Structure 1
Amino acid sequence: MKIVDIRTRCVAIPLNCMLRHNTGVHPGYFLRTIVEVITDEGITGLGEIGGGDQRGAIEKIKSRAIGLDPFHLETIKLRVLRSVYYISNARIYAAIEMACLDIQGKALNRPMSDLLGGKVRDSVPFIGYLFWRYDRPQGGDDSCAEDLADHCEELAETLGVGAMKLKAGVMTPAEEARVLELCRDRLGDDFGLRIDPNGLWTVPTAIRIGQRLGDLGIEYFEDPAWGLEGNAAVRQAVSMPIATNMYPACFDDLGPAIRMGAADIILTDLHYWEGPKGVKDLTAVCRTFRLGVSMHSGVEFGIELAAMLHTAATIPEMTFAGDAHYHYLKDDIIEGGKLQYADGRIAVPTGAGLGVTLDEDKMKFYEKFYEEKGDYYSRFHQDPKRPDWTPTVGGM
């Protein structure tokens, strides 16, 4: 079997609100580049990649994969990722690996999880991801801690989630700490709490807020300050575990992070860590050094969510509920519509490969929607309701 072509399409799907974060605003939709790896035996594998319109990047790299066997992932990685750093990156390779594993599963009539060692769970738990919102479904904007605590209660009731994470760094640190305090009071001691200012806070601020939250029993404090040094400094001064999806977010930084004691928990990500098999490699290192593992969300649609489910299902140590922006999406591009939550969990697809297929009518519809809306990464670090605002690392 040989790869004969790689095709790409950009799609955008609307959200039920606008999501604020410390470097800008998701403007009411998410966008992804969908990758189709085509073989000479008529089997097509699906991949997905974020970070804006990646069609040009894939076009530059695809000649290095054409003619290769989709089962030979080490060769593909050498050709596509390792030797062409100036036009490739882990995100692009991960989408191709995802598609190749989909091809392998379809060829063998086995689910992707079987190619990664076999699943140890049939479904994966997810959190209720809390963002400060503009243009909420019920109208208005989130403006105080009570608004987010209300939203957390809503997600616990409608999705059945047993944990939350606040995307912090938007309001004052004290007001964001109050969100977790309200959620603990309303949802009880067994409900998981997390907070993630994405490295925005200064070390003194992160330590102050971490010490304030110390009695809440939060699951982890994610990227409280900037860089390996920032996270390591906060870790020495607070009682709760420090987690990261930023420092480290690649294998080059993993060794220094472990030597420095920068984190207790690493959030895996299919794109940062070089695909599903790369995540398995990362997990082996975490197992060796007794680090916890969780899973990061990159505003994925159903293709990548399926790959995340297959991967997480094969990792015994992944006992934390995974991140997911999925509940903000109004629709999906896969047949059957959005994957469904049940008691806060999403079932691992059981079909061959990824176990999901594209809905071509939805693809055409959301391709057109993308063309109308455009690639927002050129205006991602802006706030439409605060035109003079600019993100500032260490600004709080």
Structure 2
Amino acid sequence: MTGARHGLTLTEVRLTPVLVADPPLLNTQGVHQPYTPRLIIEVTTESGATGLGETYGDTAYLALAQSLAGALIGRSVTDLNGLPELAAEVCGDPPGATGAGAVDVGGLRGVRTAGKLRLSVLSGFEVACLDAWGRATGLPVHALLGGKVRDRVEFSAYLFYRWAEHPGGHGEHDDWGAALDPAGVVAQARRFADTHGFTSFKLKGGVFPPDEEIAAVRALAAEFPGRPLRLDPNGAWSVPTSCRVADELADVLEYLEDPTSGTAGMAEVAAALRGAAATSGRAGLPLATNMCVTTFDEIAEAFARDAVQIVLADHHYWGGLRNTRELAAVCRTFGVGLSMHSNTHLGISLAAMTQVAATVPHLDHACDSHYPWQTEDVLTERIGFRDGRVDVSDAPGLGITLDRDRLAALHRRWQADDGGLRDRDDEAAMRHADPGWVTPATPRW
């Protein structure tokens, strides 16, 4: 058995689903629930080395993870290339609909498929194996990936329209207050800048009519002149609306992310923007995505049609840190820019993001992260931002330590839930405020 003589054979795999407090952040589907499910993965080798991973904790992901966990016993943490084949063998199709008509409401990456769900589960196991491998050998994960090219990784402030509290006062309370207009968005950005030193800002859009979100971006540009700004409506706009917003904000946006849904629509917008740029003589506004390019199979069409100029990588989408590096290499080959996407996550995922980001030369933009919004974690010490950046740990593995008391508390919350929060559902959460709410069809505007 490869790795056996080094004590790298897996002897235990532990899965702990948790519910993590989440603020009432708004998006085009609805609003975040008071608590969101995450899955914490722990692996142990015969030498006693342990490793941590994190991924989505929704029911479908948990079912696949449970199937895979037992099959890993007796394998080496170094046998990472064998994980996809193993998953295909032992994991059947997850519960719930998949295919052309199924929307990925948990991951927000377009159509939900069994393959995408497996990749997200694999990502957590791969990170845990790399963490254990690094701890066993005294090497940081970035060294196992070929070595770091930077000592610090830059992140952007992730701005949201939000309510002051969840409907009915459910969930945990914070002191952020509401942000429902340009002034509220600017105040939120100023707090992020003052607290964490962020100098790049992303606004989650698709919540209000485009003119209101244009006004918010303009207000940000006035407050933070010359700073990189991004707007992401999660595919809520039509092609004409996307083109209009892009034209109105071309002078202040770093890029426009997923203004419309699907590769075909993005390609149409991109072509229109190239034409307008050629006519005006100014540089065109790049389009970015984390929705229409989320697997290797989706790359060819998007790149051939020049539908996107920037891909937001996410190791939870792509099957792990090594696949993220492969994606980066493909993007570099075809002259496509690279950034990093984020969904609600804890410190394990942030540590993994930071380790892989440190190894990618072709990382052109600050990474996204929800982490500053999360008041809870399962680590003994929160990961800090300094000047909008996270220091790359050189400690063995991911360089983090699990807090078992915190993990147990978040798991007890999951156990106590009646099932209503074990799958992310922004639409259902919105109905607590608006009983008739249905996620609007796209294009919304």
What TM-score bracket applies, with the shorter chain setting the length? over 0.9
Question: Which residue in 1 is equivalent to 2:144?
Answer: 115
1:176 is displaced (CA, Å) by 0.6
In structure 2, distance between residues paired with 1:158 and 1:81: 44
In structure 2, distance between residues paired with 1:280 and 1:82: 25
1:187 is displaced (CA, Å) by 0.9
Question: Which residue in 1 is equivalent to 2:181?
Answer: 144
When residues 139 and 322 of structure 1 are mapped into structure 2, their CA distance, relative to the original with a 3 A threshold, is closer
Find the partner of 1:242 among 278, 287, 291.
287
1:394 is displaced (CA, Å) by 0.9
In structure 1, distance between residues paired with 2:193 and 2:297: 38
Structure 2 gap ranges (5+): 1-7, 95-116, 166-173, 274-283
Find the partner of 1:389 among 424, 430, 437.
437
SS at match of 1:327: helix
The answer to whether the aligner puts 1:37 opposite 2:85 as a matched pair is no
Find the partner of 2:63 among 45, 56, 78.
56
SS at match of 2:323: helix
CA contact (8 A) 1:165 1:194 kept: yes
Question: Which residue in 2 is equivalent to 1:252?
Answer: 297
Question: Which residue in 2 is equivalent to 1:192?
Answer: 228
SS at match of 1:133: coil
Find the partner of 1:24 among 27, 30, 42.
30
1:199 is displaced (CA, Å) by 0.8
When residues 280 and 378 of structure 1 are mapped into structure 2, their CA distance, relative to the original with a 3 A threshold, is closer
TM-score, length basis structure 2: 0.84
TM-score, length basis structure 1: 0.94
CA contact (8 A) 1:81 1:93 kept: no
In structure 2, distance between residues paired with 1:140 and 1:73: 44
Provide the identity percentage.
35
Find the partner of 2:261 among 194, 206, 226.
226
The answer to whether the aligner puts 1:358 opposite 2:402 as a matched pair is yes
CA contact (8 A) 1:293 1:318 kept: yes
1:38 is displaced (CA, Å) by 2.3
In structure 2, distance between residues paired with 1:326 and 1:180: 22
In structure 2, distance between residues paired with 1:135 and 1:253: 38
When residues 55 and 84 of structure 1 are mapped into structure 2, their CA distance, relative to the original with a 3 A threshold, is closer
In structure 2, distance between residues paired with 1:230 and 1:55: 33
Find the partner of 2:244 among 208, 211, 216.
208
SS at match of 1:26: coil
In structure 2, distance between residues paired with 1:227 and 1:156: 33
In structure 2, distance between residues paired with 1:121 and 1:156: 22
Question: Which residue in 2 is equivalent to 1:104?
Answer: 133
The answer to whether the aligner puts 1:132 opposite 2:161 as a matched pair is yes
Question: What amino acid does structure 2 have at the position aligned with 1:130?
Answer: L
Question: Which residue in 2 is equivalent to 1:172?
Answer: 209
CA contact (8 A) 2:328 2:338 kept: yes
Structure 1 gap ranges (5+): none
Question: What amino acid does structure 2 have at the position aligned with 1:371?
Answer: Q
1:292 is displaced (CA, Å) by 0.5
In structure 1, distance between residues paired with 2:409 and 2:188: 30
When residues 138 and 73 of structure 1 are mapped into structure 2, their CA distance, relative to the original with a 3 A threshold, is closer
The answer to whether the aligner puts 1:300 opposite 2:345 as a matched pair is yes
In structure 1, distance between residues paired with 2:92 and 2:187: 45
State which drifts further: 194-203 or 147-156. Answer: 147-156
When residues 178 and 85 of structure 1 are mapped into structure 2, their CA distance, relative to the original with a 3 A threshold, is farther
CA contact (8 A) 1:9 1:55 kept: no
CA contact (8 A) 1:35 1:96 kept: yes
CA contact (8 A) 2:378 2:407 kept: yes
1:319 is displaced (CA, Å) by 2.9
In structure 2, distance between residues paired with 1:304 and 1:183: 29
SS at match of 1:221: strand
Find the partner of 1:181 among 218, 230, 237.
218
In structure 2, distance between residues paired with 1:341 and 1:372: 33
In structure 2, distance between residues paired with 1:97 and 1:49: 11
CA contact (8 A) 1:5 1:37 kept: yes
State which drifts further: 41-50 or 81-90. Answer: 81-90
SS at match of 2:260: coil
In structure 1, distance between residues paired with 2:306 and 2:369: 27
In structure 2, distance between residues paired with 1:271 and 1:143: 30
1:158 is displaced (CA, Å) by 1.5
When residues 89 and 108 of structure 1 are mapped into structure 2, their CA distance, relative to the original with a 3 A threshold, is same
State which drifts further: 74-83 or 266-275. Answer: 74-83
Find the partner of 1:310 among 355, 362, 375.
355
In structure 2, distance between residues paired with 1:372 and 1:319: 43
1:85 is displaced (CA, Å) by 6.4
In structure 2, distance between residues paired with 1:57 and 1:211: 44
1:378 is displaced (CA, Å) by 5.5
In structure 2, distance between residues paired with 1:123 and 1:332: 22
The answer to whether the aligner puts 1:10 opposite 2:17 as a matched pair is yes
CA contact (8 A) 1:68 1:76 kept: no
CA contact (8 A) 1:65 1:80 kept: no
In structure 1, distance between residues paired with 2:147 and 2:18: 31
SS at match of 2:54: strand
1:369 is displaced (CA, Å) by 2.7
1:28 is displaced (CA, Å) by 3.0
Deviations 1:267-305 (A, max 9, x none): 110111110000011011011101110011121211111
When residues 44 and 262 of structure 1 are mapped into structure 2, their CA distance, relative to the original with a 3 A threshold, is same
